[in-house]
Amino acid sequence: MTGQAMSLSRLKSLEIGEAQTLYEHPANQLIATIQKEHIEQLDQNIARIEKAVLGSARELPSYGRLGTLPGVGIILAMTITMEAGDMKRFPTPGDFASYCRTVDSARMSNGKKKGDNNAKCGNKYLAWAFVEAANFAKRYDESCRKWFDRKAAKRGTVVATKALACKLAKAAWHVATQGVDYDASRMFPELAQNQTK
């Protein structure tokens, strides 16, 4: 232990000789060499796995279209494609959004909350993917940002992020099952109406 704080990017950029100079004792220098070799080997293996998975994902019909969704890049499109499988197995966009854990699981009776349904039903990886997509979309897509800002002003940022994730999950269902690209006017019809007035 050298007691030095070092970022991951700095650690990865170290040459083996540089890593050895961090230590005085020969045993520690050997450990640093082996650890650096392991990091390089793991990086190579991760790159090989990503290339193979991306090649498989590209063969699936919905992969390319999912990339048209705001906030969805290569990794999220791959995750959604691989985790969702054939989206036609979900009869409605709401069913898919529920499977993605983007809808509230509260049990209501007479307007009062009576408990929670099983919040662990569905796919946790899709839940993560759509929340990540929502976080990117609200930063980089103007329509998503406007909708998010209006929702956040009324209900708070956490609820607004989850609601945007739900909208993206439903849009993903439409894109995948109907073979169309993302259309902001279908996802946010209220914003499209405001712009025409």
**Does any domain span residue 68?**
no
Residue 197 located in a structural domain: no
Q: Do residues 108 and 30 share a domain?
A: no
* Cα–Cα distance list, 189 to 5, 19, 57, 84 (Å): 50, 56, 31, 26
Along the chain (197 residues), what's the average pLDDT of each consecutive run of 10 residues? 74 81 86 88 92 81 87 91 90 92 70 60 91 95 93 93 94 92 85 57
Q: Which tokens sit at 167? A: 């909208």
pLDDT in tens, 25-58: 889 888 888 988 898 899 999 999 988 888 877 7
Tell me which residue has tokens 């990339």: 67
pLDDT of residue 8: 77
Sign of the four-CA dihedral 51, 52, 54, 58: positive
pLDDT of residue 32: 84
Query: 44 lies in a domain?
Result: yes
Contacts of 168 (CB under 8 A, 6+ apart): 69, 70, 71, 72, 102, 130, 133, 134, 137, 187
State whether 36 and 114 are in the same domain: no
Residues 89 and 46 in one domain: no
Query: What is the tally of structural domains in the chain?
Result: 2
Report if residue 170 sits inside a domain: yes
Structure-token pair, residue 135: 């976080």
Find the domain containing 144 and state its range. 85-192
Long-range Cβ pairs for the range 45-50 (8 Å, 24+): none
pLDDT at 114: 59
Q: Which residue has the tokens 């961090």?
A: 22
18 C-beta neighbours (distance < 10 Å), count: 11
- Does one domain contain both 34 and 101? no
Q: What is the pLDDT of residues 95-106, one digit of tens each?
A: 999 999 888 765
Residue 25 in any domain: the answer is yes
| 33 and 128 both lie in a single domain | no
